[in-house]
Amino acid sequence: MIREIITSCDKYSEYLDDILCAIDKQYQLKFHYATPYGGEKDIMLSPAFVRLFKQRWYVIGVNENEQVRCLPFDRIAFMEVVCKRHPLPAKMKRLLTPDNFYDGCFGIMRMEDEQIENIRIRAFYPEYNLIEEVPLHESQQKVKESDDGLYREYTLAVRPSRDFLQELLWHGRNIVVLKPESLKRRMIDILKDMMQSYETGECRNGEEDL
């Protein structure tokens, strides 16, 4: 098992070196890629930058249809560097920088229909110590502390994407959303669906009819 982990890390390190070189030289990358749904496909990508999130590397770039793609390294079955310059279009080059593309994002997801919102949360003791040591987002600011020290409140300017909601849920009852009301209701609906899934054993993630 240890040997398998080391071999896997070495493979991803090789991918990282080759991808960074391709970004620097403006080369394209050809991937044989396993989709999250069990399929496989070939993808040509003009890479723009890489991103590390929750111990997983991703490469972000533009495919042959000029669509932005974000591919995790561990789904790459095969990669080839096409040693011919293929610069990104000027518009894409401006968009595809980490600061621009992930402005207000929590992690790896960038959902166009999710605007940056001013979110207020309450974290209870001792959870607030954890999120002060490792903030939920770079915009996190403490704005209130209860007199008895039982909770602290924070504001964040972030897009309430699926991965951000999952992070809030990971903290369980130790963090609650106070504002905006729309996000608070979304969290309540998710928790209700989770409770029904536990009670019935049926899918309530909103994807059962897809």
Tens digits of residue pLDDT in 120-176: 999 999 999 999 999 999 999 999 999 999 999 999 999 999 999 999 999 999 999
Q: Are 68 and 94 in contact, with CB atoms under 8 Å apart?
A: no
Q: What does the alpha-carbon distance between residue 27 and residue 82 come to, in Å, rounded to a whole number?
A: 6
What is the C-alpha to C-alpha distance for residues 31 and 61, in angstroms, rounded to an integer?
A: 12
3-class secondary-structure state, position 96:
coil
Mean pLDDT, the chain, whole residue set:
88
Select the more confidently predicted residue: 199 or 206.
199
Rounded to 5 degrees, φ, ψ at 125 are: -65, 140
Cβ proximity of 120 and 176 under 8 Å: no
pLDDT band at 207 (very low <50, low <70, confident <90, very high): low
Q: Residue 210: pLDDT above 60? A: no
How far the first Cα of the chain sits from its last, in Å, is: 37
**Is there a contact between 70 and 60 (Cβ–Cβ < 8 Å)?**
yes
5: pLDDT strictly greater than 80:
no
Please give the pLDDT value at position 37.
78
Residue 68 has pLDDT above 50, yes or no: yes
Question: What is the pTM assigned to this prediction?
Answer: 0.79
Per-residue pLDDT at 127: 96
209 CB-contact burial (10 Å; exposed 0-12 / middle 13-18 / buried 19+): exposed
Q: How confident is the model at residue 118 (pLDDT cuts 50, 70, 90)?
A: very high
Which one has a higher pLDDT value, 122 or 10? 122
Residues above pLDDT 90, as percent of the chain: 63
Helix, strand counts (H, E) of the chain: 6, 9
Name the pLDDT band for 11 (thresholds 50, 70, 90). low
pLDDT at 1 exceeding the cut of 90: no
125 contacts 150 by C-beta, under 8 angstroms: yes
Q: Beta strands 76-85 and 27-34: pairing type? A: antiparallel
Is residue 7 pLDDT above 50, yes or no?
Answer: no
**Which of 7-16, 55-64, 187-196 shows the lowest mean pLDDT across its residues?**
7-16
pLDDT band at 205 (very low <50, low <70, confident <90, very high): confident
pLDDT at 117 over 70: yes
Separation of alpha carbons 114 and 136, rounded Å: 18
